[in-house]
Amino acid sequence: MKLSEEYQQRLARVQAQLGHGAADLLVVAPTHNMRYLLGFTPKYDERFCALLVGRDAVRLVVPHLNAGQVESHTGLQALRWTDESGPDHALIQALDELGVEQSTTLAVDDTMQARHLLLLQEMARPQRTVTGDALLASLRMRKSALEIEALARAAAQADRALLAGVDACRPGVSEREVAEAIVQSFRRDGAEQVDFTIVGSGPNGAFPHHHSGGRTLRVGDTIIIDIGATLDGYKSDITRVVHLGEPDPEVLEIYELVRTANERGRAAVRPGVTASAVDRATREPIDAAGYGDRFFHRTGHGLGIEEHEPPWISATSDTVLEPGMVFSIEPGIYLPGKFGVRVEDIVVVTEEGVRCLTGLGHELIVKQ
Ligand code: ZN
Ligand code: ZN
């Protein structure tokens, strides 16, 4: 068995970047980046564990107790070290085999533990150490067809869980009970992990990151439901709004503004435009109606093996959109003491424009 073609391609893209002079060697710890490059991450504890990517070859240095597991998941052979021997010898062997010289530029995983970075610097004696973040982010932002399909499956699962949440919204039911119905749906549907369930009813909806609590729903409540889970290693994220009983004109006005902002944002997405242009297009209808200061967060964030990852869809992001980028469009308006509204979709940039992975409609969900 060897590394599947998908992961070979990902490593080849890193190596191409190294070939273009990004660095001589990239060292990745057992983080999301390792999961991205190998499809598997062993437990990251105090023991040194790293994937070393050189221009023409890769080496894995793994503590003996995890080596069998890593090899069986990745098909790669690991250079093992034991608790008795320590990692120095295995690491030196890896560096030797990759032909790393002391004049190198070493790029490292941002969240590598400091003690591991220091060991690496002591052994490799690089001339320069830089962050590998930009290199990895530029690759991870552009999703492969396989990743987009995984994100689409995750989005469809979140659609179903959201409907289960809508179903559970009734007068007298607590936010926590609605959240529980959503968790149950995700679990029944095979989610690896439920990452978050925000159910913000009435005034609680005015806090974008409200923790679902004991407040019971009542007629007249506007309820924000923002949820996400992990399926096959990929994240979902969706927000919809439910109203119990006939909504008053203010709720309808605010909802319509946010719905329009979401629509404008999605319509602005295509290859070649900047992320800040999408942010601007999303904000425009809300600003024009005088609620600009009530929309106090960025328009969106990238989504993949992490819940929040580049590209950032914000006023200051000069990232130029490319096919394969996946991110959220999630404008909101929050009225303290009253209610909040947010409408969030996950979209992917295509050659022609945009595909929305979120499948639910955008109308206010009114329950009588
Ligand atoms: Zn969300
Ligand atoms: Zn989001």
Based on the fold, state whether residues 74 and 178 are members of the same structural domain: no
Give the per-residue pLDDT at 230.
98
Domain hosting 344: range is 145-367
Count the domains in the chain: 2
Q: Are residues 85 and 121 in the same domain?
A: yes
User: Which residues surround the ion ligand 1 when the cut-off is CB under 5 Å?
Assistant: 226, 237, 239, 344
What is the average per-residue pLDDT within 275-293? 98
Of 352, 349, 351, 348, nearest to 152 by C-alpha is: 348
**Ligand 2 centroid – CA 14 distance (Å):** 28
pLDDT digits (tens, 9 = 90+) for 74-107: 999 999 999 999 999 999 999 999 998 777 899 9
* Ligand 2 centroid from CA 152, angstroms: 15
State in Å: Cα 366 to ligand 2 middle.
23
CATH of the domain at 309: 3.90.230.10
Do 338 and 214 fall into the same domain? yes
Closest CA to 62 of 97, 30, 98: 30
Q: Are 123 and 95 a contacting pair, CB within 8 Å?
A: yes
Closest-approaching ligand to the CA atom of 195: 1
Does residue 231 share a domain with residue 129?
no
Whether the CB-CB separation of 367 and 169 falls below 8 Å is answered with yes
The verdict on 283 and 261 lying in the same domain is yes
> Which-ligand-closest: CA of 342?
1
**Adjacent-strand bridge partners of 79:** 61
Q: What is the pLDDT of residues 334-364, one digit of tens each?
A: 999 999 999 999 999 999 999 999 999 999 9
Give the Å distance between the CA of 342 and the centre of ligand 1: 9
Task: Please give the structure tokens belonging to residue 239.
Answer: 């927000």
Looking at 101, 122, 140, the residue that finishes a domain is 140
CATH code assigned at 53? 3.40.350.10
Q: Are residues 82 and 150 in the same domain?
A: no
Please give the distance, rounded to the nearest whole angstrom, from the Cα atom of residue 227 to the centre of ligand 1: 6
Distance, CA of 64 to CA of 42 (rounded, Å): 12
> Where a domain ends, among 106, 121, 140?
140
pLDDT of residue 339: 97
Q: Which of 123, 140, 157 is the last residue of a domain?
A: 140
Whether residue 162 sits in one domain with residue 88: no
Q: Is 301 left (phi over 0), alpha (psi -120 to 50) or beta?
A: beta
Q: Which amino acid is at 138?
A: S
Q: Rounded to the nearest 10 degrees, how much is the dihedral formed by the CA atoms of 6, 39, 271, 229?
A: 140
Ligand nearest to the CA of 299: 2
User: What was the pLDDT predicted at 3?
Assistant: 81
